[in-house]
Structure 1
Amino acid sequence: MLFKSTMVVLGAKSSKGNYNGIPFDKTTIFYKADLQEGDNFVGEVGESMVWGLSDNFQKIKSLEYPLMADVTLEQVSNGSATRMIIKDLVPQKQQQQGNAPK
């Protein structure tokens, strides 16, 4: 199941290698999330979600953070647990500093 959304991307990390004979290759996106409402919660937190292979990191590493991005999310399951992954991430155009309207 696919969902479209907008998120505030706080940062990203590329991971590729081999751990105990098991290869891994991914990009992790860190994004801003609201805490649930309640007496013991207030504010926002940083959460993480996987966005494909480590090659995706190259597409966004030179951008200024935090940034707004349009994302396509997919809900996936292994039969016992459900999670969301990023299928596509498109940064929204960043305003040039010094060129902002007054």
Structure 2
Amino acid sequence: MQFKTQLVVLGAKSSKGEYNGRPFNSTTVFYQAQLQEGENFAGQVGSEYKWGTSDNFEKIKNQKFPFMADCTLEQVSNGKTTVTILKELTPVPQPK
């Protein structure tokens, strides 16, 4: 299931290389999220989504962080666990 939303992007991290003979290549995007409501919770927190390969990091590394972005997310499951994956991220133009 895919859906669109806007996120406040706080930062991003590129990872590419090899570990124990296995290649890895990914981008992690950190975004602003609301804490759940409750007596012992208040405010916001940074959370993360995986966003494809390290090539995606190159698309946003020169943005001024934090920034707003239009995003497409997808929920996928292996039958036990559901994960949300960032499919598309487009920075919203900032007013000048």
Shorter-chain TM-score category?
over 0.9
Q: TM-score, normalised by structure 1?
A: 0.91
Q: TM-score, normalised by structure 2?
A: 0.96
| Greater Cα radius of gyration, structure 1 or 2 | 1
Runs of 5+ in structure 1 lacking a partner?
A: 97-102
- The aligned residue for residue 30 of structure 1 is 30
* Identical-pair percentage: 61
RMSD: 0.8
**Aligned counterparts of 1:42 and 1:29: Cα–Cα separation in 2:** 23
The amino acid that maps onto 2:74 is E
CA deviations on 1:45-84 (whole Å, 9 max, x unpaired) are 0001001110000100001010000000000112211110
Runs of 5+ in structure 2 lacking a partner?
A: none
- The aligned residue for residue 4 of structure 2 is 4
Q: 3-state DSSP class of the match of 2:57?
A: helix
CA deviations on 1:67-102 (whole Å, 9 max, x unpaired) are 000000000112211110000000000233xxxxxx
Instruction: Detail structure 1 runs of 4+ shifted over 4 Å in the superposition.
Output: none
